[in-house]
């Protein structure tokens, strides 16, 4: 999952819905319409970086590392007006005068901008804090920063000094949310006070914000290092901790008691339209909740039948529910310590890497590493996530793994998880996208969840093509992960559109999956907090798998899986309809053969 992206730090900020270009044809070779289009792309990319310093750092641009996103209501209004203006400018450009490549760029930008404007009605900024991240975990942005020079540390100190203003702005948004009746579920917000208390340190050196000062580069003179440390300690003690203490009082006394007992997105103002919008946004389809629910039920039944086959293969005596309990509880399926678990993930990544040539011709140049999820968010977040590298190659990608309570992190899930989050899953997808030189930047960095997470889930099955699923328990893990995404279709629509309770969703998940209760509860709470997002995985995987089957039938002996996978990745992230059009054109071209185009 692209939990990306340092959700703990970035969830506090509002990002533009798009970005824009680089490495496009020289201006003199473009038509007037193409020049206008790329000027718009350039301007919007720069605006996105300027208005969201956190996103700029995520992209590897550190010009704004001394500040936070302006979260005032006035700034939100300015960003929304600028989005509307950008869409109006796009519509003034003559699409018919563009090349096919630029028509695709135009259409993709339009898809994003039209929906960015359409979602303004839902005022999502009125709920700026989530149980998996927000201003209470803003220290997480440090994971994206270089900390190589004294200037880098001075930028961080400036951010520390600016934190009280960010907390005040966040509080103002939450007060506006109370007035508007736009409030998150209480069952999720009950997790947040402990996260805020994690910032209330007596010793500034124990603050999560002080972590970059614990080990500083030798290139910075010792006296300057100590001066910077003293400034940081003063900012934490005098500004950061008092601001969080005040924020904590507001949260526990004023905000938490007013949060809602219900969990459904449809219980929010304009909630039914909001959930319909989110389902379409994340899946990039027009599927409604009822159809998605039925697809989920069909997939759950199919995968249960496959699980029964593996249960019989390993000779387990007992029904499927007993098999699930065995998988959740037998000590042989778990590592004993966080260190052992991290070492096993690192070894597994090394095992996968040599087999990648079996499923792709083009391998990304950007490397990736394996890191633990930060301790201050591990208890409340998912099993793993991937953080893409900087688009300019200055920062590698990272596969973040959850080491909290290793006794609930089964070995049998690790292979499928690594295939999804690292290679050939998200790392392939993001690194390949960033390395497509002829696309504008918004295409190289765009993230359509159905495409991205669909590819990640599809990548789990590529382990069969790579010869990795020799152990039947690893196959159990692959089926468990496929089931996980099928269950999502049922429980997400169940809770947000069909009146299901949180416990009903937990019970359905536990009845159909061997995932541990710790994971299941965190997952269900994630679906409550992030309506519709989880629908995209299985919908995207089904489309990519369907197109693979179509290509294999149409091309017969000429079908090569490596070429198909390269064709899927060569578009960058796009809506599923766009991917379908591209793959069918690729099939037609292959059928014509060399020299017949």
> Is 34 a member of any domain?
yes
> Is 593 a member of any domain?
no
Cα separation, 216 vs 230, in Å, equals: 13
For residue 24, what pLDDT band results from cuts at 50, 70 and 90? Answer: very low
Final residue in a domain of this structure, among 538, 556, 587: 538
Is-cis flag, bond preceding 424, omega within 30? yes
The closest of 458, 484, 463, 483 to 474, measured between CA atoms, is 463
Residues 80 and 215 in one domain: no
Cα separation, 584 vs 591, in Å, equals: 11
- Per residue in 72-109, pLDDT (tens digit) is 999 999 999 999 999 999 999 999 999 999 999 999 99
Asked if 421 contacts 456 with a C-beta cutoff of 8 angstroms, the reply is yes
Using DSSP's 3-state secondary structure scheme, residue 188 falls into helix
- Count the alpha carbons within 13 Å of 130 in the hemisphere toward its beta carbon: 22
For residue 20, what pLDDT band results from cuts at 50, 70 and 90? Answer: very low
pTM of the model: 0.89
- Per residue in 350-408, pLDDT (tens digit) is 999 999 999 999 999 999 999 999 988 888 888 999 999 988 888 999 999 999 999 99
Across the range 437-465, mean pLDDT stands at: 94
Angle at 372 between CA 427 and CA 8, to 5 degrees: 80
Across the range 456-478, mean pLDDT stands at: 98
The Cβ of residue 20 has, within 10 Å, a number of other Cβ atoms equal to 28
Residues 323 and 337 in one domain: yes
- Per residue in 27-65, pLDDT (tens digit) is 445 799 999 999 999 999 999 999 999 999 999 999 999
Asked if 68 contacts 159 with a C-beta cutoff of 8 angstroms, the reply is yes
Asked if 468 contacts 415 with a C-beta cutoff of 8 angstroms, the reply is yes
Direct distance between the N- and C-terminal alpha carbons of the chain, in angstroms, rounded to an integer: 38
Cα separation, 195 vs 558, in Å, equals: 55
Position 18 pLDDT exceeds 70: no
- Per residue in 191-225, pLDDT (tens digit) is 999 999 999 999 999 999 999 999 999 999 999 99
Average pLDDT, the chain: 93
Who has greater pLDDT, 36 or 23? 36
> Is 591 a member of any domain?
no
Residues 461 and 315 in one domain: yes
The DSSP H or E segment spanning 112 is helix 100-118
pLDDT of the residue at 239: 98
> Is 447 a member of any domain?
yes
Spatial strand order of the sheet with 384-387 comes to: 368-372, 397-401, 384-387
Give the chain's radius of gyration (CA, Å).
24
pLDDT of the residue at 594: 72
- Per residue in 472-519, pLDDT (tens digit) is 999 999 999 999 999 999 999 999 999 999 999 999 999 999 998 988
pLDDT of the residue at 593: 82
For residue 13, what pLDDT band results from cuts at 50, 70 and 90? Answer: very low
The closest of 488, 345, 359, 365 to 422, measured between CA atoms, is 345
The DSSP H or E segment spanning 321 is helix 320-329
Residues 180 and 99 in one domain: no
The closest of 282, 304, 243 to 480, measured between CA atoms, is 304
pLDDT of the residue at 596: 54
Cα 318 from chain centre? 38
**Could you give the number of structural domains in the chain?**
3
> Is 309 a member of any domain?
yes
Cα separation, 51 vs 64, in Å, equals: 9
Where do we find the tokens 């404007």? Answer: 117
* Structural domain containing residue 399: 276-538
Across the range 134-149, mean pLDDT stands at: 96
pLDDT of the residue at 30: 76
- In the chain, pLDDT over 90 holds for what percent of residues? 89
Residues 46 and 81 in one domain: yes
Using DSSP's 3-state secondary structure scheme, residue 133 falls into strand
Position 123 pLDDT exceeds 70: yes
Residues 334 and 462 in one domain: yes
Position 2 pLDDT exceeds 50: no
Residues 444 and 321 in one domain: yes
Who has greater pLDDT, 416 or 27? 416
Position 329 pLDDT exceeds 60: yes
Residues 159 and 224 in one domain: yes
Residues 409 and 311 in one domain: yes
Q: How far is CA 274 from CA 30, 115, 429, 466, 486, in A?
A: 40, 12, 29, 41, 22
Final residue in a domain of this structure, among 504, 538, 572: 538
- Name 486's Cβ contacts closer than 8 Å, sequence gap at least 6: 296, 299, 300, 303, 538
Position 187 pLDDT exceeds 60: yes
Final residue in a domain of this structure, among 510, 538, 566: 538
> Is 315 a member of any domain?
yes
Residues 393 and 305 in one domain: yes
pLDDT of the residue at 595: 53
Residues 447 and 467 in one domain: yes
Six token digits for residue 353: 């890497």
Position 317 pLDDT exceeds 90: yes
- Per residue in 274-306, pLDDT (tens digit) is 999 999 999 999 999 999 999 999 999 999 999
> Is 398 a member of any domain?
yes
Using DSSP's 3-state secondary structure scheme, residue 586 falls into helix
The closest of 466, 476, 475 to 423, measured between CA atoms, is 466
Using DSSP's 3-state secondary structure scheme, residue 217 falls into coil
Across the range 409-428, mean pLDDT stands at: 97
Residues 223 and 350 in one domain: no
- Which of the 8 DSSP states describes residue 388? P
């Amino acid at each position: 999952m692209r939990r990306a992206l340092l959700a703990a730090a970035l969830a506090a900020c509002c990002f533009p819905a798009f970005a824009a270009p680089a490495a496009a044809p020289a201006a003199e070779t473009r038509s007037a319409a193409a020049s206008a289009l790329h000027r718009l792309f350039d301007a919007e990319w720069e605006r996105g970086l300027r208005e969201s310093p956190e996103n700029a750092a995520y992209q590897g641009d550190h010009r704004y590392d001394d500040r936070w996103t302006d979260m005032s209501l006035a700034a939100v209004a300015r960003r929304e007006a600028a989005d509307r203006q950008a869409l109006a400018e796009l519509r003034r450009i003559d699409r018919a005068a563009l090349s096919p490549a630029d028509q695709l760029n135009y259409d993709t930008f339009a898809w994003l901008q039209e929906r960015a404007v359409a979602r303004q009605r839902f005022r999502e900024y009125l709920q700026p804090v989530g149980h998996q991240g927000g201003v209470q975990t803003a220290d997480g942005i440090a994971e994206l920063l270089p900390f190589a020079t004294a200037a880098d540390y001075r930028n961080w100190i400036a951010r520390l000094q600016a934190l009280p203003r960010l907390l005040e702005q966040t509080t103002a948004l939450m007060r506006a949310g109370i007035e508007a009746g736009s409030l998150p579920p209480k069952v999720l917000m009950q997790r947040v006070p402990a996260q805020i208390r994690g910032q209330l340190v007596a010793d500034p050196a124990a603050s999560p914000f002080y972590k970059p000062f614990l080990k500083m580069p030798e290139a910075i003179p010792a006296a300057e290092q100590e001066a910077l440390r003293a400034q940081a300690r003063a900012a934490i003690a005098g500004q950061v901790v008092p601001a969080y203490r005040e924020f904590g009082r507001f949260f526990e006394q004023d905000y938490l008691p007013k949060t809602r007992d219900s969990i459904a997105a449809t219980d929010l103002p304009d909630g039914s339209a909001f959930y319909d919008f989110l389902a379409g946004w994340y899946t990039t389809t027009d599927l409604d909740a009822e159809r998605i629910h039925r697809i989920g039920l069909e997939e759950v039944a199919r995968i249960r039948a496959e699980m029964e086959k593996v249960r019989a293969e390993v000779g387990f005596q007992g029904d499927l529910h007993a098999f699930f309990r065995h998988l959740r509880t037998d000590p042989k399926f778990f590592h004993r310590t966080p260190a052992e678990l991290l070492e096993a993930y690192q070894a597994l990544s090394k095992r996968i890497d040599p087999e990648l040539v079996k499923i792709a011709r083009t391998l990304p140049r950007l490397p990736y590493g394996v890191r633990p999820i930060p301790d201050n968010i591990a208890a409340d977040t998912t099993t793993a996530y991937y953080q893409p590298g900087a688009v300019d190659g200055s920062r590698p990608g990272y596969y973040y793994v959850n080491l909290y309570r290793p006794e609930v992190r089964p070995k049998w899930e690790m292979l499928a998880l690594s295939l999804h989050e690292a290679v050939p899953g998200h790392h392939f997808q993001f690194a390949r996208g960033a390395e497509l030189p002829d696309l504008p930047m918004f295409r190289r960095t765009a993230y359509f969840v159905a495409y991205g997470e669909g590819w990640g889930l599809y990548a789990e099955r590529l382990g069969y093509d790579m010869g990795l699923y020799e152990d039947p328990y690893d196959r159990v893990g692959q089926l468990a992960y496929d089931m996980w995404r099928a269950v999502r279709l049922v429980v997400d629509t169940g809770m947000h559109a069909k009146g299901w309770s949180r416990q009903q969703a937990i019970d359905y998940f536990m009845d159909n999956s061997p995932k541990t209760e710790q994971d299941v509860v965190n997952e269900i709470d994630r679906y409550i907090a992030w309506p519709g997002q989880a629908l995209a995985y299985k919908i995207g995987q089904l489309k990519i798998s369907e197109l693979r089957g179509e290509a294999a039938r149409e091309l017969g002996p000429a079908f090569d899986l490596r070429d198909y996978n390269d064709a899927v990745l060569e578009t960058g992230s796009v809506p599923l309809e766009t991917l379908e059009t591209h793959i069918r054109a690729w099939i037609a071209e292959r059928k014509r053969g060399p020299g017949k185009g």
